[in-house]
Structures are given as structure tokens and as C-alpha cells.
Amino acid sequence: MASTERWHWRTVHDATALEDVPPHLGPQEAQEWCNFTVWHPERLPAGCESATTTLRKEAPPGRTGQDSGRTPWSKANPAAFRTEIGGGGRRLRLKQFLYDWAFPAADHPALWGSETLTFPIGEGRVVWLGTDYLGHAAASARMSRTTVELSVLEGEFTGEELVELYRSLRPAVPGAPARVIGTPFGELSYWARHQDVDMVSVPTGLFTFHRRTRPHEGDWVAPEELAAFLAAQRLPALLGGFPADSAAVFADADGSRELEVIYTSTGGDELRLTLQRPGGGRMPFPPQREKHPAQAKEIGLAGRTLYLAYVDEGVGPFDAMWHDVAAGVEARLLSSAREGLDKQFALARVREVLAAAPLTGEGAVL
């Protein structure tokens, strides 16, 4: 990672000290409570005059009986920033957070299972338009590590209006994005820091992954030990210009065990490499497709079969799986979506991993 100063944020010391209802905080004030970049719109859709913002603060896991604004599927208390925009009989909601309990499926998990369209929003970023799980017109983008989800709550907005709203988003605190991106994912992640909460059962990509549902048993590598750890596993420290950011080994009582390495670019884009011994982890192989609409192909690459799935050939996101017989590992490489992270980029990254011959050294952890 770059030598940028790491991001530090405020948290509530105990769940019992949380407000019963998320308080109204402006985006600048909210940023100091968030383990992600907070964004705010410079322009609102025509006829929309109000933008009300609230913050759900981070606290250790726990519930006190007051669940307003809290996640109903977990005792976890991660931070989230909500903006409700309305006027003229129309209303929408923006929700921002760090998606840190799994890899964000298809890079737009809020639209899971729906047909999606992608549009550029500036600086290489893209937004996806589709339908959310409640059947609402919706959108999603990852921006400097922040997942920014939109849902139309009342009335109708055109696709162009939604795209323009994303294009108008600016960091609430200009210096925050570089510091957030410069902080290892393992330090930002709520689930990496609090290992006494159950993992959330969600899809992680376009191919099936047996979901981690037990308490988060990831053994995260300390940042100062990451370089030596990767060298011992014969894993690249740099993948397609993306520096290795964090690594963890996940184990379960049934013997499931896999190694995961996160690579993050200076713009916050992500590659995630997962390795397991044949049949020893949570990735069924040969892979099985998830339900999200996507293209899936089998490609001959470096003498082996590569299973490749993607939503858009030009921007991804990509889900690639293969079996390296010589190294005795099954591998998966996931990418976030961005202009330039195209099919050729994804294939080149797989070749890089194959050239490294991972896990063949004496220091292999799987």
C-alpha cells in the first residue's frame, strides 16, 4: 500500500451507548465516524429540494432492545450513512457503507438477481442500474471502497437522473478517500475486528461459494507481516499494479479452509484471490453458476481450463476459477467493476497468479 496516513475513525464504546434512533449528522461531521469514504451530491434531481442525512454509528456487537436503524440480520453494529432526497412527490434513499463481511457479489449486491445496466460516472467509476430485493428501481456503485446504494422509495426517476446523481457525488472530506484506501482492508473491516459475530450468509460472486455463516474465524495477517507471508505462499505482492492489501486464512469446524488475499489499487478498486486445496474449502469445483444474470465461458489458458463469468466484458466484474494441478490448489479471482478492468485485464491477472505457482513452498498454510 502507499505511504499515505491511515484513516482513523470514531466509534461508540458499547452498544448500550448507541442512540435509539440514528442521529441527524451532516456528511462532514459523519465522516469522522465512518470506516469508509462519505459522499454527498453537489446537485439534486429536478424538483427535489431536501436532502436529510442520518448516521448509524459503529459500536461493538450487541442489542439493547432498540433496533431502529440497526441491521435485523445480525447483532453487529457497523457504521452506515443514509441520505434521503425528496420533493415534488418523489423520494429516494442513498445508503453508504463498507461492504466488509464478504466480497460484494457482482460488485452490486443490492441488485442481485436482476438484469443490470452499467454507466460511467467519472474517473473510471461505473454505476449499475437495476431492481433491488424489494422490487424498487435501484442503483449501486463502489466508490473509493464505499458501497453507495440507491433505492427509489416514492414516485419515478429516470435512469439518466440516477446516473447524474452519482456523477455529482463528491467526498464530504476531500482528504478522506486517499487515507481510507491507504488503510488495509483488514483494519477497516468490522468483521475482521469483531470475531464474535456470525458472518452474513450472502453470495460472493457469479459462481457459487459455500457461505461462511459461523463467527468470523478469519486469521488475519498483521500488516507488518504481510510481505513475508505472501513470499512464503509464493503469492505476488503486486497483481496488475494492485498492491497486496490484506490476507487471511479462514477455517471452519468441518475442515473447510481457504486463503484469501485482497489487492487494492490507489483508486480503491479491488482484486480478491481465494485459494483452497482440492475439495478442502468452500468453492465447489468445477464451479456452479449463481442466479445473477451474466455471461459464463470455459477458456483454455496456460494448459488448463479457466471458468470465467462476467456481467460486462468491458468493465466486469469478473469471477474466474481454475484448478492448478501442479500446485495442488483450486483458485478463484474476483474483480470489482471499472472502466479498463476488462476481460483481457482479468485474463492477464490469472496468468500472473499461475506464473507465481502459489502454495508450492514449504511455508504453505493450506
Distance CA 361, CA 38 (A): 42
Residues 166 and 296 in one domain: no
Residues 224 and 345 in one domain: yes
| pLDDT above 80: residue 32 | yes
pLDDT at residue 2, rounded to an integer:
46
pLDDT at residue 299, rounded to an integer:
96
| pLDDT above 60: residue 68 | no
Distance CA 321, CA 341 (A): 17
pLDDT at residue 251, rounded to an integer:
87
Domain count, the chain: 2
Residues 240 and 326 in one domain: yes
Residues 253 and 170 in one domain: no
The answer to the question of residue 306 being in a domain is: yes
Strand partners, 119: 127
Residues 114 and 219 in one domain: no
pLDDT at residue 287, rounded to an integer:
96
Residues 155 and 270 in one domain: no
pLDDT in tens, 265-280: 999 999 999 999 998 9
| pLDDT above 80: residue 253 | no
The answer to the question of residue 186 being in a domain is: no
Residues 160 and 216 in one domain: no
| pLDDT above 80: residue 313 | yes
End-to-end CA distance of the chain: 25
Query: What average pLDDT does the segment 106-133 reach?
Result: 97
Residues 239 and 139 in one domain: no
CA-based max dimension of the chain: 66
Residues 39 and 167 in one domain: yes
State which residues form the domain around 277: 203-356
The answer to the question of residue 195 being in a domain is: no
Between residues 142 and 202, the one the model is more confident about: 142
Residue type, 221: V
CA atoms within 13 A on the CB side of 53: 17
Check: CB of residue 26 under 8 Å from CB of residue 39.
no
Residues 244 and 145 in one domain: no
pLDDT at residue 85, rounded to an integer:
98
| pLDDT above 90: residue 110 | yes
Distance CA 34, CA 31 (A): 5
Break the chain down into helix, strand, coil percent, rounded to 5. 15, 35, 50
pLDDT at residue 66, rounded to an integer:
59
Dump the DSSP string for 206-269: SB------SB---EEPPGGGHHHHHHHTT--SEETTEEEEEEEEEE-TTS-EEEEEEEE-TTS-
- Which band of pLDDT confidence, cut at 50, 70 and 90, is reported for residue 289? very high
| pLDDT above 90: residue 211 | no
Query: Mean pLDDT across the chain, nearest whole number?
Result: 93
| pLDDT above 50: residue 214 | yes
| pLDDT above 80: residue 291 | yes
The answer to the question of residue 161 being in a domain is: yes
Residues 176 and 207 in one domain: no
Nearest to 143 by CA among 104, 113, 112, 117: 104
